[in-house]
């Protein structure tokens, strides 16, 4: 990996956990890494958001599966900070509105900057992991989620 890519990776990894997010650059980096992007939109006062964080997203196996396929962004729409999206700096709340998110939690999965999966609401660890594997493996190109899950169960 050349120095420019290392520097870009460092900057983006800091931005993912900082107040500001550069979604445009993350799309480029994700393409270079052959990964997709997962954005978990939530709000502080949302009990289902907390359950998703406490049960599903705090699970080591779930996070390992996410990290295998995705660059992950945890986005609390009520906190300060901006998102660079389509070369425009907008608030986190405005970023959520760009995707018509009015229900929390919502998890969006992107491939090359395009939404490939929209998950509204809480999912337990197993259901969430199945969706992550489905999207991460790009099986959505060949089958629906139900077929994918049946195929997974058949293989086990």
107 forms bridges with which residues in the sheet? 40, 119
Third-level CATH fold of 3-155? Glutaredoxin (3.40.30)
pLDDT (tens digit per residue) in 33-81: 999 999 999 999 999 999 999 999 999 999 999 999 999 999 999 999 9
CB 35 within 8 A of CB 112: no
Angstrom distance (rounded) from CA 121 to CA 105: 5
Domain boundaries, the chain: 3-155
CB 36 within 8 A of CB 116: yes
CB 26 within 8 A of CB 83: no
pLDDT (tens digit per residue) in 110-122: 999 999 999 999 9
């Amino acid at each position: 990996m050349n120095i420019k890519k290392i520097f870009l990776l460092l900057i983006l990894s800091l931005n993912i956990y900082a107040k500001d997010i550069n979604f445009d650059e993350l799309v480029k980096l994700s393409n270079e890494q052959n990964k997709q992007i997962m954005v978990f939109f939530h709000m502080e006062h949302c009990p289902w958001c907390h359950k998703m964080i406490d049960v599903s997203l705090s699970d080591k196996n779930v996070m390992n599966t996410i990290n295998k396929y995705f660059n992950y962004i945890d986005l609390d729409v009520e906190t300060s900070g901006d998102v660079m999206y389509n070369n425009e700096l907008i608030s986190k709340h405005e970023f959520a509105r760009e995707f018509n998110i009015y229900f929390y939690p919502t998890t969006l999965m992107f491939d090359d900057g395009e939404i490939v999966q929209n998950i509204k609401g809480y999912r337990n660890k197993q259901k969430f992991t199945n969706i992550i594997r489905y999207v991460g493996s790009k099986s959505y190109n060949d089958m629906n989620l139900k077929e994918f899950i049946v195929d997974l169960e058949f293989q086990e």
